[in-house]
Amino acid sequence: MYTLYSDQRSGNSYKVRLALARLGIPYRLEEINILQGESRTPEFLTKNPNGQVPLLEAAPGRYISESNAILWYLAGGTTLAPEDRIDRADALQWMFFEQHSLEPNIGAAYFWLCLIKGGRELQSHALEDWMENGYRALGVMEMHLASRRFFAADRFTIADIALYAYTHVAHRCDFDLTRFPAVRAWLARVAAEPGHVAMDWQPEALTAAE
C-alpha cells in the first residue's frame, strides 16, 4: 500500500489526495506538520532531501516528490493522464504553468494569509506582486476556459487537479473570483466530478481498514 506524506492544509498535498480519491486507490496517510518543521527533520530528509510534502512512497524505499510528478505516476494508464502526444503536451503545459505562474502567487498568498498568524504584515512587501501575478494567471485560465470545459484533452485530467488545488482557495486569500466566471464554472465542474473530496477530507475509512 502507498504511503502519502502530506500536510492537510497544503494545496500541493491536496492534489495527490484528490487524485487518489478519484482513482479509488487505498493508501496510508502520514500527516507532516510543515509549520512545526516536520518536513525538515533528519529522518524526513532521508526520504525527500528537498524537505517538502507531498511525498509518496510508491514502493518500499521508492519515494516520489513534486506533486505533479506524483499525479503523473498515479494516473498513468488511466483517462486522467492523456496519452495522445499533443494532449499530453497540453496537460504538461498547464501543469508547468501551475507551478510557475499560479502556485508561487496564489499558493504563497494562501500560505501567508490563511495559515500564518500575522502573515499579512510579515509579507506586506510581497503581497502586491502575488496579487498582480495571481490575477494575471487567473486571467490566462479564464481566457482558456471561456471556450473549453477542461484544460487539456477535452476532458477532466490531472491538469485540472493540479490547477484546482490553489484556485479553489483563491477567494480565501483576497482574490476576487467574481471577475472570472469561466474559472468559477470550471471550479464547480471539477467539484462535481465523481470521487471528488474536499481539502479537509481524510481517508479515515481507508487508514482504519489497515
Ligand X SMILES: N[C@@H](CCC(=O)N[C@@H](CS)C(=O)NCC(=O)O)C(=O)O
Residue ranges that bind ligand X, judged by CB under 6 A: 7, 10, 12, 34, 39-40, 51-54, 66-68, 99
Q: Rank residues 114 and 182 by Cβ distance to ligand X and give the closer one.
A: 114
Please, what is the minimum distance in Å from the beta carbon of residue 146 to ligand X? 27
Nearer to ligand X, 99 or 184 (CB): 99
Cβ-in-10-Å burial (0-12, 13-18, 19+) of 121 comes to exposed
12 vs 157, which CB is nearer to ligand X?
12
The distance of closest approach from Cβ of residue 205 to ligand X in the complex, given in angstroms and rounded to an integer, is: 25
Minimum distance of ligand X from residue 153's CB (angstroms):
21
For residue 2, the surrounding DSSP H or E stretch is strand 2-6
Q: Are 28 and 6 in contact (CB under 8 A)?
A: no
Q: Point out which residues pair with 64 in neighbouring strands.
A: 56
Helices (H), 60-123: 67-75, 85-97, 108-110, 119-122
Backbone angles phi, psi at 53, to 5 degrees: -105, 155
Note if the bond before 54 is cis, omega within 30 degrees: yes
Residue nearest to ligand X (CB): 52
CB nearer ligand X, residue 42 or residue 194: 42
Q: How far is the CB of 65 from ligand X (least distance, A)?
A: 6
Q: Which is nearer to ligand X, 40 or 149 (CB)?
A: 40
88 touches 36 (CB < 8 A): no
Distances (CA, A) of 44 to 7, 31, 37, 82: 13, 12, 10, 32
How near is the Cβ of 40 to ligand X at its closest, in Å?
5
Shortest approach of ligand X to residue 99 CB, angstroms?
Answer: 6
Closer residue to ligand X in complex, CB, 182/197: 197
Q: Return the residue matching grid coordinates 487539456.
A: 152
Structural contact between residues 91 and 162, judged by C-beta atoms closer than 8 angstroms: no
